[in-house]
Amino acid sequence: MRSAGISFAKSLACFSLLLTVITTQTALAEDETPRIISADLGTTQVLQALNLQDAIIAVDVTSVRQPELRGLPSIGYHRQLSPEGLLSIKADALVGAADMGPETAINALEKTGVQIIQQEPPKTIDTLIENVRTLSTEFNHKEDGEKLINIIEEMRTTLSNTSVKQKTAIFLLDMGGHGGANGSMAGQGTGGDAFLNLLGLENMAKFPAYREASRESLIALNPDVIVLASGGRPSKGPKLEDSEVIALTRAAKEKNIMGMNASTLVAGLSVAAMDEAIRVKTTLAKK
């Protein structure tokens, strides 16, 4: 059925085309290797681990931070993808999180035969394994997939075999000490919460999402462990771990303030995040 809106647009187009004399030509070389757009850091990391790095032809803003991918075109933020921008890359597949969009971009790609693979950001090891299995099957890298899954399973075993006496924890995202902030505390369902689950610790923050932690609540919660996540760049402000409030907690008194690299959790659990969990849990187990 023809809509009035599109007719209006077409009429405008016909008139204006007579006045416009711009022509462009393009010719992209055909390539036999799959051309993949990765719209999510977690996906990018899995693709790299599956030896599919050479197949990645464009990445989203979070993946651009990866040094080895810096030269690739950036498709921007995965929830505000440019449909035309994606089509211009002439990819075979777009892989990303389940909430990438907008819908017009996904529909346009599907109509032109681009394979769309959407995955849940992994909050558990099982989801991470499922995502690895899906990607390795879709891109015919099953062998690499099985190897990676074995590594993840080994890491899971290491984590479950390492026991710690500490029970409770909070996960604080270090905001660089701006304005005397106490850090953003990870609530239920967040990447930080998933990280604490890996450590086998109870997340004392029962609210959803990340919330600014008040000084009083930090003292009142009095966790056994505080995980301090930072972006990996040196902060110019005062360090959160030096905060007088944190010093009053049991975690500080027992020297259970553990640093970790927050970038490993940007897209949910990753192999790098599991590595960090093993390091932190092993340190805690020695206490």
Question: Which range of residues in 97-105, 173-181, 198-206, 229-237 is near other proteins by CB under 8 A?
Answer: 97-105
- The single residue among 31, 33, 54, 73 that binds other proteins, judged by CB under 8 A, is 73
- Torsion angle in degrees (nearest 10) through CA of 225, 226, 230, 236: -130
Asked if 30 interacts with other proteins (CB under 8 A), we say: no
Shortest distance in whole angstroms from residue 104 CB to other proteins: 6
Interior CA angle at 152 toward 147 and 154, to 5°? 95
Q: What is the DSSP track for 10-65?
A: HHHHHHHHTT--------PPP-SS--EEE-SHHHHHHHHHTT-GGGEEEE-TTGGG
Count of alpha carbons within 13 Å of 87, Cβ hemisphere only? 14
Distances (CA, A) of 66 to 42, 78, 152, 226: 11, 16, 21, 27
Shortest distance in whole angstroms from residue 210 CB to other proteins: 7
Contacts of 211 (CB under 8 A, 6+ apart): 184, 185, 187, 205
Asked if 22 interacts with other proteins (CB under 8 A), we say: yes
The interface mask with other proteins, positions 151-170, x = CB under 8 A, is --------------------
The interface mask with other proteins, positions 169-198, x = CB under 8 A, is --------------------xx--------
Secondary structure class of 284 (helix, strand, coil): helix
Shortest distance in whole angstroms from residue 21 CB to other proteins: 7
Query: With respect to other proteins, which residue has the nearer C-beta, 6 or 247?
Result: 6
Asked if 74 interacts with other proteins (CB under 8 A), we say: yes
Q: Which amino acid is at 181?
A: A
CB atoms within 10 A of CB 149: 16
Asked if 58 interacts with other proteins (CB under 8 A), we say: yes
Asked if 29 interacts with other proteins (CB under 8 A), we say: no
Query: With respect to other proteins, which residue has the nearer C-beta, 20 or 161?
Result: 20
Q: Which amino acid is at 139?
A: F
- The single residue among 108, 129, 245, 278 that binds other proteins, judged by CB under 8 A, is 108
Q: How many whole angstroms separate alpha carbon 221 and alpha carbon 225?
A: 11
Residues 196-235 that bind other proteins (CB under 8 A): 208-211
Applying CB under 8 A, which residues contact other proteins? 2-6, 8-10, 12-26, 58, 61, 73-77, 79-89, 99, 102-105, 107-108, 111-112, 189-190, 208-211
